[in-house]
Amino acid sequence: MKKVSHEVKELMRELLSEGLSAEGFVFDTAVAAYLLAPTDGSYHLERLAVQYFPQEFAQSGQEILQAKAYLAPDAFSPLGDRAPALGAFASHCAWIEALYGLLAKRLRDLSLNRLFESVELPLCQVLAEMEVAGFLVDRTALEDFGLHLKTRIDEIQREILALAGEEFNINSTQQLGVILFEKLGLPPVKRTKTGYSTSVEVLEKLQGKHPIIDYIMEYRQLAKLNSTYVEGLGKVIGPDGRIHTCFQNTVTATGRLSSTEPNLQNIPVRTALGAKMRYMFVAAPGNVLVDADYSQIELRLLAHIAGDEAMLEAFRSGADIHTSTAAQVFGVPPESVTGEMRRRAKAVNFGIVYGISEFSLAQDIGVTRREAGEYMERYFDTFRGVRAYMYDVVKQARRDGYVQTLMGRRRWLPELQSSNFNLRSFGERVALNMPIQGTAADIMKVAMIRVRDRLLREGHTARLVLQVHDELIVECPEAEAEGVKRLLREEMEGAAQLSVPLLAEASAGKSWGEAKG
């Protein structure tokens, strides 16, 4: 009998938690529906039944809608009548079976079956294992950090209220706007739908005009760290001292994973204070964390997909891609590239991957629109293959109605047919970006399966604990660290064959912060 499920990762997690086998599943109706239409948003069984079997659902769909009530815990109490629950369960199974038949055929018709069978389905078990494993947190260090933050938050709060000359809620953008732009008379830089903007870009422009600004910026940073990370994470540490995130595999439009309850894919790193958070994520006694990340995977994919000679050469020569881009764009030898030139070139490189406009580039790096336009012109003069790619991929998307990754993952783009300029422009940027971001996601998923399988095959105790888009973290006994570093690098680098080297770097430490730093 074939084992088919709806949201099989959830079932696998339960099985693994009970010490049972999670092997042998051949289909997942939710994941299949996601591959067919990754922007649909929800893949509840009821919704899929309505979507794919509207006629039949109208006849008998009510039974499924009642399933939740029937399947509530007390439905199985000795006193309850189990017949309705069993009937609803049978109906649930019947819909899964019907959807299995239809969705499997649709996957084959769109050549998505290989991605499904060799990537998405095997990945479900890897993710279930990671969720069960969890990530150990140093609770004491987290609490100490929280106390330190609170002390400072109180100090700053007093300063802010004193400078404002009245009590108000600093967390309220509305109240803060009134204080800054009415009471203190600072110039409003930008507005939102509902009033004054008080975002960090606005505050940066106001720096030096009033001493309250620096305090507000510091308050925001500390309040975010405390509420989202210290307190938020503290609430979800399990009885085992570990945090068990949920990896969503049917959410993003590009094929990436996401992480919820809690989100472990946005733990701070960019500021020195925030990066302290990563030292709270630790290895169990006697173990270490091995962290490995891809080097410039999206730009390497741009070079590969666009087939751009200049960019291919830059990667083949092992050059620093942002420095190399700066040298081309500013017309100087690489050794004459300044820090500022490299920073701007880096912004151009990111902008290209996102579907740039000169306006946004100008805003991002703080130059005039004209200057930004000149950078882009020189960029496209150098990287002619990239310009051609940008044109071709949008043209193809208009013709076909979708874009796809190297492994055939699709995103439909009805936006390109819109009469609304903004929506159509958005569709064009997505057409540029999705094949790149999505291929990177495909490759990482393949890497995760390879890493997990080889760890098992070679008898390592090591286990994957986290993925952050281009980064993997493994927890392993100290004695295995060197072997695991090598294994991670090899399996990540070997996950795809590109026309440029695909590089991954690995390092180990007692905490996430230590391993990265």
The residue ranges that bind DNA (CB under 7 A) are: 169, 171-175, 192-194, 197-200, 202-203, 220-221, 223-224, 227-228, 231-232, 235, 248, 251-254, 256, 258-263, 265-271, 274, 347, 350-351, 354-357, 359-361, 364-365, 421-422, 425-426, 429-430, 433-434, 437, 468-471
C-alpha 511/C-alpha 493 separation (Å) is 24
Q: How far is the CB of 202 from DNA (least distance, A)?
A: 7
Query: Which residue from 481, 142, 512 is spatially nearest to 286, judged by alpha carbons?
Result: 481
C-alpha 382/C-alpha 329 separation (Å) is 8
Q: How far is the CB of 441 from DNA (least distance, A)?
A: 9
Residue 166 dihedral angles phi and psi, to the nearest 5°: -160, 165
Residue 119: DSSP 8-state:
I
Toward DNA, which CB reaches closer, 260 or 336? 260
Q: How far is the CB of 379 from DNA (least distance, A)?
A: 11
Q: How far is the CB of 200 from DNA (least distance, A)?
A: 4
Toward DNA, which CB reaches closer, 77 or 271? 271
Toward DNA, which CB reaches closer, 49 or 365? 365
Q: How far is the CB of 24 from DNA (least distance, A)?
A: 28
Q: CA distances (Å), 21 to each of 16, 240, 301, in order? A: 6, 22, 37
Q: Taking the CB of residue 482, how many other CB atoms lie within 10 A of it? A: 12
C-alpha 474/C-alpha 126 separation (Å) is 12
Q: How far is the CB of 444 from DNA (least distance, A)?
A: 9
Toward DNA, which CB reaches closer, 350 or 380? 350
**Residue 303 neighbours by CB under 8 Å, 6+ apart:** 311, 312, 314, 315, 499, 500
Please say whether the beta carbons of 404 and 114 come within 8 A. Answer: no
Toward DNA, which CB reaches closer, 88 or 176? 176
Q: How far is the CB of 206 from DNA (least distance, A)?
A: 12
Toward DNA, which CB reaches closer, 42 or 77? 42
Toward DNA, which CB reaches closer, 125 or 349? 349
Query: Which residue from 263, 280, 260, 165 is spatially nearest to 211, judged by alpha carbons?
Result: 165
**Residue 406 neighbours by CB under 8 Å, 6+ apart:** 301, 305, 435, 439, 442, 496
